[in-house]
Amino acid sequence: MSARAPTALLALSCLCMSVAQAAVPGECAGVSFPPRIQAGGQTLTLNGLGLRTATIFGIKVYVGALYLAHPTADANAILTSRDPAEMELRFVFHVTAGQLRSAWTEGFEKSAPGRLAQLQSRIDRLNGWMNGVGSGQRMTFLRIAGVGIQYSLDGKVQGTIPGDDFAQAFLAIWLGNSPPSQAMRAGLLGGACG
């Protein structure tokens, strides 16, 4: 055996371990997500998971999973990218239509305060699609550059809201400067789920 063989074996075993770790699905609050999905004509990789809680009692509402073509911890790079991105919300608590609509409205007020007038009709369209959701249901939002945000409920496409500006403001709800919680933002950017 040559002197280089142990080094090569060590490098190979490290590579195999990192590939095995990358294949492990993500898990947060008892909810699991696959490491990769097919969306927007590409393979997207799980970038991170974040837990949305509500009220002073910390009620778990949903786990968000962010999938990207090129995983990164740079929120601005994600928001300005032209690559597909998918945000999946897996609900662990019942939420009414009114609560969802209020949450979207508040989210856009924080993520795009100077652009609300130009986004309002599209926010209204999103709110018009909202019905109550129960534990186990999932909302999926796919950013398609040059198109906008495609919304699906439990795997069934509900429609698309046009505009890269809308898509950016939508993702900024979680990745911008005023997310539902800093812990959730950090989790979506690859940190611990929180």
pLDDT band with cut points at 50, 70 and 90 for residue 40: confident
Helix, strand, or coil (residue 46) = strand
β-bridge pairing 138-144 and 156-162: unpaired
Taking the C-alpha atoms of residue 155 and residue 111, their distance in angstroms, rounded to an integer, is 26
Residues 89/62, Cβ–Cβ less than 8 Å? yes
Residue 167 to residue 186: CA distance in whole angstroms: 20
Instruction: State the pLDDT at residue 25.
Output: 62
Number of Cβ within 10 Å of residue 193's Cβ equals 20
Place of tokens 């950017």: 189
Is 138's pLDDT higher than 80?
Answer: yes
Does 7 have pLDDT greater than 60? Answer: no
Name the residue with higher pLDDT: 24 or 125.
125
Distance from C-alpha of 89 to C-alpha of 71, rounded to nearest angstrom: 18
Count how many residues are written for the chain.
194
Angle at 31 between CA 148 and CA 17, to 5 degrees: 95
Domain ranges of the chain: 26-188
Task: Give pLDDT tens digits for 89-131.
Answer: 999 999 999 999 999 999 999 999 999 999 999 999 999 999 9
SS3 label, residue 79: helix
Query: Which long-range contacts link 21-28 to residues 24+ away (Cβ below 8 Å)?
Result: 26/65, 26/193, 27/193, 28/63, 28/187, 28/193
Model pLDDT for residues 158-191, shown as the tens digit of each residue? 999 999 999 999 999 999 999 999 999 999 999 9
Class of domain 26-188 as given by CATH: alpha beta
Is residue 20 over pLDDT 50? no
Residue 10 has pLDDT above 60, yes or no: no
pTM to 2 decimals?
A: 0.86
Q: What's the CA gap between 193 and 189, in Å, rounded?
A: 10
CA atoms within 13 A on the CB side of 117: 1
